[in-house]
Amino acid sequence: MSFLGIAAITLVVIILFQISKAGEILGELGGEKESVDANNRFQANMFLGVLVFGLIGIVWSAVHYSPMFLPEASSEHGVGIQNMYFWTLVSIVPIFFLTQILLFGFSYFYRKDDRKTSFFFPESNKLELIWSLIPAVVMVLLVTGGLRQWLKITGPIPEERLEETLTIEATAQQFKWDIRYSGKDRKLGPRANRKMTAENPWGQDWSDPANQDDFIPTEIYLPVNKPVMVKINSLDVLHSFYLPHFKVKMDAVPGIPTQFWFIPTKTTAQMQLELDNPEFVYELACAELCGKAHFNMRKEVYVVEQDEFDAWAAEQESLYSKFVKPAKSAEADTQEQENEKNEKEEGIKKTVSSL
């Protein structure tokens, strides 16, 4: 193997050496000026050829791969974002084609001609003004459009929809997501990292009844067409709560709670039909480098009708019943035994004292 490798490298070096000499020799044969002219013609032709094939390649590949792009967004704001992107492309794609064509076109047309001289054209304030103002105007339009969307997306949930908003808490850690639901009382109970123990793995404050119906399921279920407020936090390092199909992304920052709200508009079943893919499932991923298994923080997301969501929620076991009740009943048993023992002792004492 290594002999072949050495032989290959030697061959390559010899070829390179010959190539490097070839130009010199041709130059000496045909004359310096002729070889310069020949080279200029060749490079100019290459620019033209690469321009044509390059643009064709770009258009073809974009068309070929576009079915694999994310489909129409499954959230209200996501559709707005895609619309904004369409208009952004309308602004920049023509510029791309125009400037690349002029760049390579001029290179081709204005390759050196010894019978001519270049046109001395150092400046034109008019041109500078035109091509400063037009981009400036386009940028202002893009900025105002973009900011209008951004402030809506990062602003509060509209008043009239607060009532039906589902609030969930997404906690990231190396290397998984846990999504806590608020249960029937629609209130997430208070918790703290510093209260986390083996018996109380989420550090919940059990004295607050709001905690007693909270549950953490294995998949995320969301009711369609209802606002979801995701309260995002992290236990250890930076992560990022990323739902690609809903155009949702917000970093999970240890020590600083963040949030993102959105309204899912297409059920999983609907997507499976639309994409003609019965295996399709929405996914939650991490989008901020968080260590060696950053690429593997996955959870499945199911968007369903309200009644299916309610049924699913009713089936979930609360953290309280998982961790506190068994402990409490074990405690209660020992407490009962203690009480019985005390009563016996008291009884004996009374009996003795009465003797």
3-state secondary structure of 264: strand
Nearer to another protein, 128 or 333 (CB): 128
Residue 144 or 321: the one with the smaller Cβ distance to another protein is 144
Task: Output the smallest distance, CB 15 to another protein, in A.
Answer: 10
Nearer to another protein, 60 or 336 (CB): 60
CB contact set of 55 (below 8 Å; sequence gap of 6+) = 97, 100, 101
Question: Minimum distance between the CB of residue 216 and another protein, rounded to whole angstroms?
Answer: 16
CB-CB contact of 265 with 224 (8 Å):
yes
Phi, psi of 214 (to 5 degrees): -70, 140
Of how many residues is the chain composed? Answer: 355
Q: Which is nearer to another protein, 183 or 239 (CB)?
A: 239
Question: Which of these, 33, 23, 46, lies nearest to 113 by C-alpha position?
Answer: 33
Compute the least distance from the CB of residue 173 to another protein, in Å.
8
Separation CA 242–CA 250 (nearest Å) = 7
Q: How far is the CB of 134 from another protein (least distance, A)?
A: 9
* Minimum distance, C-beta of residue 334 to another protein, in the bound complex (Å): 27
Q: How far is it, in rounded angstroms, from Cα 303 to Cα 277?
A: 16
DSSP assignment, residue 213? G
Question: Which residue lies nearer to another protein by CB, 27 or 217?
Answer: 27
d(CA 310, CA 183): 10
- Report in angstroms how near the CB of residue 306 gets to another protein at its nearest: 26
Q: How far, in Å, CA of 79 to CA of 88, rounded?
A: 14
**At which residue do the structure tokens 């009943």 appear?**
329
Selection from 155, 171, 149, 184 nearest residue 284 by Cα: 171
Helix axes 32-65, 2-30, angle to 10 degrees: 130
Instruction: Pick between residue 62 and residue 162 the one whose CB is nearest to another protein.
Output: 62
The residue among 144 and 342 lying less far from another protein, judged by its C-beta, is 144
Token output for 91: 């602004």
CB of 4 to another protein, least distance (A): 14
